[in-house]
Chains A and B, each alone.
Chain A
């Protein structure tokens, strides 16, 4: 049984560009959450999707948006990239009422 997968593993963009990151949840998991982890810090919650709707959102600007598809996979979009958006972006999936399973992350570098 495949765990949570994310693509791409690494990405380099320049300031002002837009990026899309992808996540496939663990089989049977219907909830997907996204986190941003800056170097040396703990992960910070961006938002959570359930039944194709954004259910919760952390303290991130509207430049960060997402989507969940009927097969529960999810995308994270970031517009107008800033240098400070450089981070490891983590996706986590969970079945209702259980712990979260994290993917390996996508390392985004903004130059």
Chain B
């Protein structure tokens, strides 16, 4: 599985967009980019995933660069409840039949 690199922490003002970067320069062609988040004392929560096209769902948008070496998770209107550790994971196939390799993630602090 490709190694991912994320900043250890970021701040964001409530109501503004939060842009969380992830570097995965050694990603293989069959590896998807997955994003999970973990709110304090809870289990991780799936957010979104993508292979090479940009993706959007009700929670967030995922922008993957054309060379697939990096990506950005966008929370369009951050709220205090979005304060969490965000994990970027590169994994083969669909993610369910393979283990998830978590790094230390980015602690996003949404400020009022």
**Closest Cβ–Cβ distance, residue A109 to chain B (whole Å):** 14
Distance to closest chain A CB from B41 (angstroms): 8
Which A residues are in CB contact (< 8 Å) with B96?
31, 94-100
- Do A92 and B43 have beta carbons less than 8 Å apart? yes
Q: Which of A27-50 contact B (CB under 8 A)?
A: 31, 33, 35, 40-45, 48, 50
**Smallest Cβ distance from A2 to chain B, in angstroms?**
14
Flag whether B81 is at the interface (Cβ < 8 A). no
Complex formed: what's the CA distance from A94 to B98 in Å? 11
Docked complex: B62-90 residues within 8 A CB-CB of A: 85, 87
B residues within 8 A CB of A104?
42-43
User: Is the pair B100, A45 in contact by a Cβ cutoff of 8 Å?
Assistant: yes
CB-CB < 8 A to A96: which residues of B?
A: 96-97
Known interface pairs A97-B94, A98-B94; A105-B99 also in contact (CB < 8 Å): no
Q: How many residues of A contact B (CB 8 A)?
A: 29
Q: Are A42 and B87 in contact (CB under 8 A)?
A: yes
Residues of A within 8 A of B87 (CB): 42
In the bound complex, CA of A97 to CA of B43 (Å): 20
Is the CB of B95 closer than 8 A to any CB of chain A? yes
CA distance A31 to B97 in the complex (A): 8
**B53 part of interface (Cβ distance < 8 Å):** no
**8 Å CB contact of A42 from B34, B95, B97, B104:** B104
List of A residues within 8 angstroms of B97 by Cβ: 31, 50, 55, 94, 96-97
Find chain A residues with CB under 8 A from B46 CB: 99-101
B10-54 toward A: CB 8 Å interface, digit per residue (1/0)? 000000000000000000000000100000001111100100000
- For the A-B complex with A58-B99, A105-B43 known, give 20 more contacts whose Cβ atoms are closer than 8 Å: A31-B97, A33-B100, A35-B102, A42-B85, A42-B103, A43-B44, A43-B100, A45-B100, A48-B99, A56-B98, A94-B95, A97-B93, A99-B46, A100-B46, A100-B96, A100-B100, A102-B43, A102-B45, A103-B43, A105-B42
